[in-house]
Amino acid sequence: MTFKINILGCGSATPTLRRNPTAQVVNVLERHFLIDCAEGTQLQMRKFGIKFQRINHIFISHLHGDHYLGLVGFISTLHLLGRTKDLHIYAPEALGDIIFSQLKASKSFLSYHIEFHPLTSQKNELIFEDNLVTVHTIPLKHRIYCNGFLIKEKEHPYRLDIKAVEAHKIPIAWYHRLKKGEDYIENGVKIPLSTLTLPPVPSRSYAFCSDTAYHESIIPIIKGTNLLYHEATFLEKHEARAKKTFHSTVKQAAKIAKKAEVKQLIFGHYSARYKNTTDFEIEASSIFENSKAVEDGAEFSIDF
């Protein structure tokens, strides 16, 4: 029941020796999602032991270079490694032209198919769904069109209380209906669900909020999420700069975490002007205690 986030890059604007710009891999129940793909992402994946061909879905927040300039290189490497599986890319519409015109210019014919899913909506929408997991956009407030992503497990089934089920002689054919949340009714006899089952384990969620100004509209979307990654480009003393560039201060990120009642906040996308993250952690925890500055290579698990 894995739900794990690997931070591949958490700097902003340009790659430095210390930090790569934004990229993360989320493993949710063995679905491996790549979120953003800055320059250098492939090398970071090699460094941190991420297997390239496990990535089947890529989500790109916006078209500033520090969030996608590694993508065409990654696409090309997947071809050179002999990929045959489809690759799904969810990104602002214009990225489709960028990818396909680069491939065309180099007369590259890929060994696999890219299914490009253009994002255009300004509203929170469902963009991926399978039997266990959903991904929704989180519309953000940035200089250009930008989305975060909310990755959620679907509701888990009710758990059979085997002793109770056997004591009431419930036919096995009924088990799947109990798991779905139905009361047992047969020949006019009703045994309530609560007698026969234990509540489902809570479903877990991860919210990735890439570049954004302070934006309270995201609060209802990320309410109660287990883990929130929110950008924190600046310290409070540079709040004016944050406002001008449509970024957030770390205190603003913490305020969002508090108002949204998330369980834990992690933050990154630091401006290169800061030498370390000590002041970021002090400012964040003054507002929201369970918060942590990330670094490249950090790993976070969401447990039950």
Among 11-19, 102-110, 123-131, 150-158, the segment contacting Zn ion (CB under 5 A): 11-19
- Cα–Cα dist 85/18, whole Å: 34
Q: Which alpha helices (H) appear in 56-148, and where do they start and end? A: 65-68, 71-80, 94-105
Give the shortest CB-252-to-Zn ion separation in angstroms. 16
Active site residue 66: yes
Is 66 among the residues that bind Zn ion (CB under 5 A)? yes
Is 39 among the residues that bind Zn ion (CB under 5 A)? no
Among 101-109, 150-158, 182-190, 204-212, the segment contacting Zn ion (CB under 5 A): 204-212
> Which CB atom, from 148 or from 197, has the smaller least distance to Zn ion?
148
Is 36 among the residues that bind Zn ion (CB under 5 A)? no
> Which CB atom, from 6 or from 212, has the smaller least distance to Zn ion?
212
How far is residue 46 from each of residues 41, 75, 175, 294, measured CA to CA in Å? 9, 15, 45, 19
Give the shortest CB-200-to-Zn ion separation in angstroms. 37
For residues 192 and 235, the answer to whether their CB atoms sit within 8 Å is no
Range list of β-strands (E), the chain: 3-9, 23-28, 31-37, 55-59, 87-92, 114-119, 126-129, 133-139, 147-153, 159-160, 184-186, 189-191, 197-198, 205-209, 227-231, 264-268, 291-293, 299-301
Give the shortest CB-171-to-Zn ion separation in angstroms. 57
Which amino acid is located at 221 in the chain?
I
Taking CB under 5 A as the criterion, the residue among 36, 39, 153, 211 binding Zn ion is: 211
Residue of 66, 97, 130, 161 marked catalytic? 66
Taking CB under 5 A as the criterion, the residue among 64, 83, 152, 251 binding Zn ion is: 64
Give the shortest CB-120-to-Zn ion separation in angstroms. 18
Q: What tokens does 145 get?
A: 């069109």
Q: Tell me the site size for Zn ion, rule CB under 5 A.
A: 4
How far is residue 161 from each of residues 169, 192, 196, 219, measured CA to CA in Å? 12, 12, 5, 36
Active site residues: 66
Residues that bind Zn ion (CB under 5 A): 12, 64, 66, 211
